[in-house]
């Protein structure tokens, strides 16, 4: 309540009537609003958190800024209201434990939780800087590209929660926080995950009012029915509607009337308002589908909704790019690649021929409900394709048009009517649905996965392992002890874990007789990294080793090498680690014919030996000199390219260019900027950073200006006596 003078410490009601001494709800003595939080500030809770200041209060909890004793780390400390602790304590702790396992960049991280001696539950979270989305929306709708960007981030975080069976049940702008890190662009953080479901499971509120926010509540929630993922999809659709248009579909002064409208009233897309806000008309069917009254008519998952939002983003970008191009007469028409029918897959197959050229990957499109198996020669890398890269070896990953693409693989062994399936590095939670569909296309069901192998424990490798264990109750996890020590926090079952160190000689004989080998690759890039080699197909699943950035193709070529070099220089600690791992690969017998890394493109045929030798000799990480020769010339050239680009596109364009490499957040930035936005250092070899920067600059300008910019860049390089492989 705006202008409140007092509040009730029991039920948190606020008021401004100075004649009130006792709360009419519970009879507790009211307290001046200025004293809110005073009973906790300065105290040490749970023997390790010193409360520094009161931050905010909501309907379920109060939030304080606190300091972790011993480390000085600042955290957010949430205390559940005393009135709720008696009925919700056990449920609160259970939900906190589930949410703490999500570990997604768009979900506020939970570091600790428990119960104070007084019986009050607490939760310790990362401390955020910024404002909640509802505060931003007080000034009107967000720009369309920004709204869709934040909405897609929220969908990813909610998809990760749903993968762990965590519903939100109170999605609204107030529960999306726009966090501004000290370095970097704002990012959406989802607040109060699990709290809404906790309240819903506890029954209706004290006055029989259904828990939740009426303006965003699904019809089934308004009726008090059991909730599923679809209820969150409905609320997310309502929230995106408000982000784009500044209003929600149903508005009324009466709480009960809004609930009735959620149940019975059909929403209508406001064409005139949408046009004024710059929202493309194609957004209407997407949002109307998300908020369909029938849960079965909505998107099947948060990732389905995210893909539809992504299609709107591509539409907006395409129209913006089209408007900046020269007149139509000077442009060549573009044609989209045509899908090809999948060939039949038989029980026994000869190995497909080694590809001699990169297999291009088209931009991802909304995924169908099913996938199909295709040969490598016929692959586009779409979300509907499980690609057979060798006999009974399938690529089941995703291409998301990012700088760092994730790969997952399925290895199938067959003997008579029996089969054994090994899913390798199953990827991040946002890819789970697509990976599942591709696995189903090969072996019929995710339930038939017998083993999940992890090269190491990073979320983009291991994030789906626990969900797959839950779906396939008989599946076993295989990884190193060091990897499991970290990966277990995803919720993995230790009873279904087999350490690679436990197999004599690193050799594992599967139940149907086939043998696979485990090849340690310590510090590439994790201490417990282990590669998997299948002597039958001669495929080496290498994890981060031999991975690459900027790889929109499935098969590597010489053009892929700069991305491989950059990837290793960023993530690998030293040349010695690469020498050790590469030497082990070179000693494998039979020798690998295909290297399948976790990131980037696969390496095949004659490129295998050549790339293994190159990687083993790379200078990376600590081996890179802090002040390489000619550093000042490279920095001067980079800033000269930025200036030339600014003259063509303006100050904002140059700023976007400098921030643009790795702008999707999938890969580390290659250089650092000072307060004046000048490039002051490189994180990789200067020649690689400068090549990438020059390529990005040329690619971003319209066709008519590219030749001019190339000539300018050539002049800058000559002036600084530099020679780049890709500058002209």
pLDDT in tens, 31-69: 888 777 778 899 999 999 999 998 887 667 789 999 999
Mean pLDDT of the chain: 84
- What is the structure's pLDDT at 69? 92
- What is the structure's pLDDT at 321? 57
* pLDDT of 170 above 60: yes
- What is the structure's pLDDT at 359? 41
- What is the structure's pLDDT at 345? 28
* Residue 350 CB neighbour total at 10 angstroms: 6
The residues, ordered by sequence, that sit 6+ positions from 71 with a Cβ below 8 Å of its Cβ are none
Give domain limits for the chain: 37-126, 130-317, 372-623, 631-719
| 72 Rama class: left (phi>0) / alpha (psi -120 to 50) / beta | left
- What is the structure's pLDDT at 342? 32
- What is the structure's pLDDT at 137? 94
Going by their DSSP bridges, the two strands 418-424 and 61-68 should be labelled as: unpaired
* pLDDT of 674 above 70: yes
In angstroms, the CA 240 to CA 249 distance is 11
- What is the structure's pLDDT at 365? 45
Spell out a b/e string for 254-291, using b for 16 or more CB atoms within 10 Å of the CB, else e.
Answer: eeeebbebbeeeebebbeeebeebebeeebbebbbbbb
* pLDDT of 377 above 90: no
Which of 198-212, 235-249, 634-648 is least confident? 198-212
Helix axes 283-290, 302-324, angle to 10 degrees: 170
Fold of 130-317: Transferase(Phosphotransferase); domain 1 (1.10.510)
Mean pLDDT of 128-144: 93
Cα angle 473-478-483, degrees, rounded to a multiple of 5: 120
Going by their DSSP bridges, the two strands 74-80 and 61-68 should be labelled as: antiparallel
The more confident residue out of 75 and 368 is 75
pLDDT tens column, 182-210: 777 889 999 888 665 655 555 444 344 45
- Split at pLDDT 50, 70, 90, the class of 12 is confident
The more confident residue out of 344 and 410 is 410
Mean pLDDT of 598-622: 93
The residues, ordered by sequence, that sit 6+ positions from 622 with a Cβ below 8 Å of its Cβ are 573, 574
The per-residue DSSP string of 612-672 comes to HHHHHT---GGGS-SS-TTHHHHHHHHHHHHHHHHHHH-HHHHHHHHHHTTTTSSS--SEE
pLDDT tens column, 508-553: 998 888 999 999 999 999 999 999 999 999 999 999 999 998 777 8
What residue has token string 């000034």?
Answer: 139
Q: What percent of the chain has pLDDT over 70?
A: 86
Domain 37-126: top CATH class: alpha beta
* pLDDT of 360 above 70: no
The domain defined by 372-623 carries CATH number 3.20.20.450: no
pLDDT tens column, 141-166: 999 999 999 999 999 899 888 887 88
In angstroms, the CA 39 to CA 543 distance is 52
Mean pLDDT of 255-260: 90
* pLDDT of 3 above 80: no
* pLDDT of 581 above 70: yes
The more confident residue out of 101 and 408 is 408
SS3 218: coil
Supply 540's token pair.
């080496």
- What is the structure's pLDDT at 363? 40
Mean pLDDT of 611-629: 86
- What is the structure's pLDDT at 704? 84
* pLDDT of 75 above 90: yes
- What is the structure's pLDDT at 302? 92
Going by their DSSP bridges, the two strands 121-126 and 74-80 should be labelled as: antiparallel
Which of 17-26, 224-233, 575-584, 709-718 is least confident? 17-26
* pLDDT of 451 above 70: yes
pLDDT tens column, 318-358: 676 555 544 443 333 333 333 333 333 233 333 333 333 34
């Amino acid at each position: 309540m705006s202008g409140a003078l007092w509040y009730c410490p029991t039920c948190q009601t606020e008021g401004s009537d100075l004649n009130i001494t006792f709360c009419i709800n519970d009879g507790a003595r009211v307290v001046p609003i200025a004293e809110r939080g005073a009973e906790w500030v300065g105290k040490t809770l749970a023997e390790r958190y010193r409360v520094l200041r009161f931050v905010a209060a909501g309907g379920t909890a109060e939030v304080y800024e606190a300091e972790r004793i011993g480390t000085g780390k600042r955290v957010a400390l949430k205390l559940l209201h005393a009135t709720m602790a008696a009925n919700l304590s056990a449920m609160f702790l259970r939900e906190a434990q589930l949410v703490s396992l999500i570990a997604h960049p768009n979900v506020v991280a939970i570091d600790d939780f428990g119960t104070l001696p007084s019986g009050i539950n607490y939760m310790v979270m990362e401390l955020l800087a910024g404002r909640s989305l509802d505060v931003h929306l007080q000034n009107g709708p967000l720009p369309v590209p920004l709204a869709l960007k934040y909405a897609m981030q929220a969908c990813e975080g909610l998809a990760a929660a749903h993968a762990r069976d965590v519903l939100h049940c109170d999605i609204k702008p107030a529960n999306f926080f726009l966090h501004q890190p000290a370095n970097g662009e704002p990012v959406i953080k989802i607040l109060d995950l699990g709290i809404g479901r906790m309240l819903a499971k506890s029954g209706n509120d004290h006055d029989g009012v259904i828990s939740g926010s009426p303006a965003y509540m699904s019809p089934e929630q308004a009726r008090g029915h059991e909730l599923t993922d679809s209820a969150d999809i409905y609320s997310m659709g309502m929230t995106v509607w408000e982000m784009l248009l500044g209003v929600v579909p149903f508005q009324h002064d009466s709480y009960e009337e809004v609930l009735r409208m959620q149940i019975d009233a059909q929403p209508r897309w406001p064409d005139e308002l949408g046009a004024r806000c710059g929202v493309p008309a194609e957004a209407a069917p997407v949002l109307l589908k998300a908020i369909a009254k029938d849960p079965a008519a909505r998107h099947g998952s948060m990732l389905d909704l995210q893909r539809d939002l992504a299609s709107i983003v591509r539409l907006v970008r395409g129209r913006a790019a089209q408007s900046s191009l020269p007149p139509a007469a000077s442009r060549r028409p573009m044609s989209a690649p045509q899908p090809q029918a999948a060939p039949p897959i038989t029980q026994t197959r000869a190995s497909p021929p080694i590809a001699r050229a990169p297999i291009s990957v088209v931009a991802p499109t909304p995924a169908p409900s099913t996938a199909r198996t295709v040969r490598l020669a016929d692959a586009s890398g779409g979300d509907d394709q499980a690609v057979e890269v060798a006999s009974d070896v399938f690529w089941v990953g995703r291409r998301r048009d990012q700088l760092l693409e994730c790969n997952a693989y399925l290895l199938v062994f067959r003997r008579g009517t029996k089969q054994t399936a090994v899913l390798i590095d199953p990827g991040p939670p946002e890819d789970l649905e697509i990976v599942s569909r591709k696995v189903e296309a090969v072996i019929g069901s995710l339930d038939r996965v017998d083993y999940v192998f992890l090269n190491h424990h990073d979320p983009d490798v291991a994030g789906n392992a626990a969900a797959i264990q839950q779906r396939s109750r008989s599946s076993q996890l295989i990884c190193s002890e060091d990897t499991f020590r970290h990966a277990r926090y995803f919720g993995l079952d230790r009873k279904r874990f087999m350490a690679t160190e436990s197999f004599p000689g690193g050799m594992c004989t599967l139940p149907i007789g086939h043998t696979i080998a485990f090849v340690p690759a310590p510090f590439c890039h994790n201490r417990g990294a282990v590669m998997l080699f299948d002597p039958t197909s001669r495929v080496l699943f290498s994890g981060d080793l031999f991975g690459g950035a900027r790889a929109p193709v499935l098969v590597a070529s010489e053009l892929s090498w700069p991305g491989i070099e950059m990837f290793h220089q960023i993530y690998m600690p030293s040349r010695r680690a690469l020498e050790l791992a590469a030497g082990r690969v070179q000693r494998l017998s039979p020798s690998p014919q295909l290297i399948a890394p976790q990131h980037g493109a696969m390496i095949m045929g004659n490129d295998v030996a050549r790339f293994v030798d190159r990687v083993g000799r790379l200078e990376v990480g600590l081996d890179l000199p802090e002040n390489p020769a000619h550093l000042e010339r490279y920095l001067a050239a980079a800033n000269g390219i930025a200036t030339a680009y600014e003259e063509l596109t303006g100050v904002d364009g140059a700023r976007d260019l400098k921030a643009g490499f790795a702008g999707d957040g999938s890969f580390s930035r290659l250089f650092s900027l000072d307060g004046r936005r000048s490039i002051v250092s490189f994180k990789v070899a200067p020649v690689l950073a400068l090549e990438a920067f020059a390529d990005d600059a040329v690619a971003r300008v319209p066709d008519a200006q590219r030749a001019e910019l190339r000539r300018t860049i050539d002049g800058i390089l000559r002036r600084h006596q530099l020679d780049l492989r890709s500058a002209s």
